[in-house]
């Protein structure tokens, strides 16, 4: 899909799944490997405003709980477009607490709530106004005590109006009429179809999934495959177990799938299962061509960032009736095998980036979302260099540069919700991707490859030398990344982060040439010092101008040709691009 098409669909809301839209060029016309999914018209039933938000402040009760495990048994009924589910949630009190508080969409009817096996009565002992369920324990749970809550619920979950941008369930059908079902709930959160604490800092330590579907369908999902149980009545349960999953990354994927499977020999010595679940009707040659990309992409990420974070589970991809989204160990792929002349599938590559930037390292707050999107998006130009050389990387970076918005700062410095950063009318929107990537490139050009890549690895794993089995998913912030970069580079780069991330306007390099000298001066959005060194080419000879205090001078002969920043290492204001946009370009 072209970036223009993505923009038309986004209408202000950008998704993790679509970061690569910001860099994707217009695809060549090709015949899709699989027919477009047949849309199933369903009346829109709307969730509450609370449920449709995510990353909302947690209650005191939620802050006093550690989420140990979610055991989810979900029967998915394609004919009625409904689910019937039981969730068993285990918690440990980290402070005295008298209630368990979780979120669950009010579109789903709760039929039973039990605490440690005892049935509770609605209203008196539990309620779920607006989708925030409070379950009163009837006693004070002491620090260190555990509690198990069982919630039975059923009904028709929210249908995604435009997955994955506006999410929920996708009830589609393949060309032959087989059910083809997926969930995509990143902007709305896990509570669309299972009771959870809908906040990135409230990940359960483990989620076990038992997904029951018609026996002629498959249900690939997160984590390690634990086998199937054929009930002999036309229904089969698929069992999965995932450690430390992002809550919105728990995904249901149901369809007439075949699996292509292999083992990837990691450069770190472990063997990782890799799987692709595709529609049985797909062109085998296109399936094989896409699957052949898995191992090179894994090798790129492992050599660039570090070990695949979930090697003891799998690297999985499933074909979906929506464009795509990163779902930990089971990334959604709906790009229909389209080619765009770059020699790799951009959607597959970008979603895989989020296994590192999003699932292994999760931002502590949405204000730091560029750590997911910007660093993840920078992996695409780096991969093009890995595959084809410098020209392809520079072409990709230029596409990103051309599409900057620069209306809001990438980082505000305050707590933000997802809507406040993804919607471009109130936050950075697509600049999370493009500008974040270009900032990462300028940082790499400034401090060098060794310091840059060691900084990225430390951010992702919490250590500069990760090895399979000796790290766990973690949370990161922009301030932490700055501290890491300072340590690795031996410099104080507060000015760099402030000048790029905390300002909407790009730094402007003003030039004055007179009396045999070229004078350069950086102007930033907050008028702060910006001592970014600048390479200058004078009649083909390069030199680096040290910009002490944001100013520098060099001697330049009267008729010499001067080229500023010949390798485009520095992200800065380009007036000619602003004029082009003002004349009627996209954005």
Kindly report the length of the chain: 587
Query: Under a CB-based contact definition with an 8 Å cutoff, are residues 314 and 275 in contact?
Result: yes
- pLDDT of 9: 34
For the domain that residue 409 is a member of, what is the CATH number? 1.10.390.10
Question: Is residue 576 domain-resident?
Answer: no
- Which of 225, 258, 291 terminates a domain? The answer is 258
Is the whole model's pTM more than 0.75, yes or no? yes
Query: Under a CB-based contact definition with an 8 Å cutoff, are residues 290 and 277 in contact?
Result: no
- pLDDT of 55: 86
Query: Under a CB-based contact definition with an 8 Å cutoff, are residues 437 and 400 in contact?
Result: yes
- pLDDT of 43: 53
Question: Residue 4 has which token pair?
Answer: 């223009």
| Angle of CA points 130, 136, 138, to nearest 5° | 165
| Together in a domain, 282 and 399 | yes
Residue 96 to residues 90, 99, 139, 232: CA-CA distances in angstroms? 16, 10, 10, 47
Question: Is residue 586 domain-resident?
Answer: no
| Together in a domain, 191 and 292 | no
CA distance 432 to 378: 11
| Together in a domain, 311 and 434 | yes
DSSP string covering 501-519, please? HS-SSPPEEEEEEETTEEE
- pLDDT of 37: 59
Q: How far is CA 565 from the centre of its chain?
A: 32
- Which of 448, 470, 499 terminates a domain? The answer is 499
Strands of the sheet with 551-555, listed across from one edge: 508-514, 517-523, 551-555
- Which of 228, 258, 288 terminates a domain? The answer is 258
Task: Using alpha carbons, select from 339, 351, 338 the residue that is nearest to residue 297.
Answer: 351
DSSP string covering 333-381, please? E-STT---SSSS-HHHHHHHHTTTBTTTEEESSGGGTHHHHHHHHHHHH
Query: Under a CB-based contact definition with an 8 Å cutoff, are residues 337 and 387 in contact?
Result: no
| Together in a domain, 335 and 460 | yes
Please, what is the angle between helix 478-489 and helix 434-447, to 10°? 20
* Strand 474-476, strand 179-184: pairing: unpaired
| Together in a domain, 241 and 334 | no
| Together in a domain, 211 and 280 | no
Task: Using alpha carbons, select from 144, 110, 115, 139 the residue that is nearest to residue 127.
Answer: 110
Split the chain (587 residues) into runs of 10 and give each run's mean pLDDT. 34 37 31 45 76 93 98 98 98 98 98 98 94 97 98 98 95 98 96 97 97 98 98 98 96 98 98 98 98 98 98 98 97 97 97 98 96 98 98 98 97 93 95 98 98 98 97 97 98 98 98 95 95 97 97 95 97 95 76
CA atoms within 13 A on the CB side of 387: 21
Q: Domain span at residue 96?
A: 49-258
Coil, helix or strand at residue 40: coil
CB atoms within 10 A of CB 123: 7
Question: Residue 435 has which token pair?
Answer: 């500008």
For the domain that residue 192 is a member of, what is the CATH number? 2.60.40.1730
- pLDDT of 1: 31
Backbone angles phi, psi at 109, to 5 degrees: -90, 120
Task: Using alpha carbons, select from 459, 321, 492 the residue that is nearest to residue 378.
Answer: 459
CA distance 315 to 309: 9
Question: Is residue 161 domain-resident?
Answer: yes
| 520 Cβ neighbours under 8 A, 6+ residues apart | 509, 510, 511, 534, 536, 545, 547, 551, 552, 553, 564
Residue 143 to residues 61, 68, 97, 100, 116: CA-CA distances in angstroms? 12, 14, 8, 14, 17
| 549 Cβ neighbours under 8 A, 6+ residues apart | 529, 531
Residue 74 host element (H or E): strand 65-77
Backbone angles phi, psi at 282, to 5 degrees: -65, 155
- Tell me: cis bond preceding 164? Omega within 30 of 0 counts: yes
Question: Is residue 15 domain-resident?
Answer: yes
Question: Is residue 105 domain-resident?
Answer: yes
| Together in a domain, 363 and 475 | yes
Q: How many distinct structural domains can be found in the chain?
A: 3
Question: Is residue 25 domain-resident?
Answer: yes
CA distance 514 to 111: 80
| Together in a domain, 337 and 231 | no
CA atoms within 13 A on the CB side of 114: 11
| Together in a domain, 182 and 68 | yes
Question: Residue 269 has which token pair?
Answer: 């010595």
Question: Is residue 585 domain-resident?
Answer: no
3-state DSSP of 290-322: HHCCHHHHHHHHHHHCCCCCCCCCCEEEEECCC
Coil, helix or strand at residue 192: helix
């Amino acid at each position: 899909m072209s970036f223009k098409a993505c923009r038309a669909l986004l209408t202000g809301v950008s998704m993790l799944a679509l970061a690569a839209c910001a860099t994707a060029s217009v695809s060549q016309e090709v015949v899709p490997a699989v027919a477009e999914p047949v849309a199933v018209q369903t009346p829109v039933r709307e969730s509450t405003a609370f449920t449709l938000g995510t990353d909302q402040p947690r209650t005191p009760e939620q802050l006093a709980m550690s989420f140990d495990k979610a055991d989810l048994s979900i029967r998915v009924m394609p004919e009625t477009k409904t689910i019937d589910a039981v969730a068993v949630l285990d918690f440990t009190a980290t402070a005295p607490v008298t209630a368990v508080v979780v979120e669950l969409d009010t579109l789903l009817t709760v039929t039973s709530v039990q605490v440690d096996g005892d049935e509770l009565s609605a209203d008196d002992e539990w309620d779920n106004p607006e989708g925030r369920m409070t379950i009163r324990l009837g006693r004070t749970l002491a620090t260190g005590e555990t509690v198990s809550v069982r919630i039975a619920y059923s009904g028709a979950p929210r249908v995604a109006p435009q997955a994955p941008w506006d999410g929920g369930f996708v009830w589609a059908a393949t060309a032959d009429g087989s059910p083809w079902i997926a969930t995509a709930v990143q902007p709305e959160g896990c509570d669309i179809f299972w009771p959870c604490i809908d906040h990135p800092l409230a990940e359960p330590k483990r989620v076990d999934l038992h997904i029951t579907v018609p026996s002629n369908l498959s249900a690939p999902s997160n984590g390690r495959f634990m086998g199937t149980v054929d009930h002999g009545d036309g229904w089969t349960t698929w069992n999965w177990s995932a450690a430390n999953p992002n809550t919105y990354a728990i995904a249901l994927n149901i369809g007439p799938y075949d699996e292509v499977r292999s083992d990837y020999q990691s450069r770190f010595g472990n063997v990782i299962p890799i799987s692709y679940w595709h529609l049985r009707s797909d062109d085998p040659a296109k399936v094989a061509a896409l699957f052949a990309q898995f191992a090179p992409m894994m090798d790129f990420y492992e050599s660039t960032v570090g070990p695949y974070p979930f090697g003891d589970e799998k690297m999985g991809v499933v074909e979906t009736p929506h464009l795509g989204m990163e779902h930990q160990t089971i990334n959604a792929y709906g790009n229909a095998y389209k080619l765009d002349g770059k020699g790799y599938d951009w959607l597959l590559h970008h979603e895989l980036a989020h296994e590192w930037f999003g699932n292994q390292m999760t931002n502590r707050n949405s204000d730091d979302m560029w750590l997911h999107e910007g660093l993840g998006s920078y992996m695409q130009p780096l991969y093009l260099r890995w595959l084809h050389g410098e020209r392809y990387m520079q072409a990709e970076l230029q596409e990103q540069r051309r599409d900057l918005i620069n209306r809001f700062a990438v980082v505000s410095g305050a707590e933000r919700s997802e809507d406040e950063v993804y919607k471009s009318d109130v936050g950075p929107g697509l600049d999370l991707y493009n500008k974040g990537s270009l900032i990462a490139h300028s940082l790499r050009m400034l401090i060098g490859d060794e310091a840059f890549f060691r900084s990225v690895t430390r951010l992702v794993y919490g250590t500069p030398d990760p090895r399979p089995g000796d790290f766990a998913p973690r949370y990161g912030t922009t301030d932490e990344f700055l501290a890491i970069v300072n340590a690795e580079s031996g410099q104080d780069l507060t000015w760099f982060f402030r000048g790029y991330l905390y300002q909407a306007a790009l730094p402007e390099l003003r030039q004055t040439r007179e009396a045999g000298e070229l004078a350069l001066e950086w102007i930033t959005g907050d008028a702060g010092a910006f001592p970014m060194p600048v390479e200058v080419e004078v009649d083909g000879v390069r030199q680096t101008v040290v910009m002490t205090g944001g100013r520098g001078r060099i001697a330049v002969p009267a008729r010499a040709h001067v080229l500023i920043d010949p390798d485009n290492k520095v992200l800065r204001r380009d007036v000619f691009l602003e004029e082009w946009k003002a004349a009627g370009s996209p954005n």
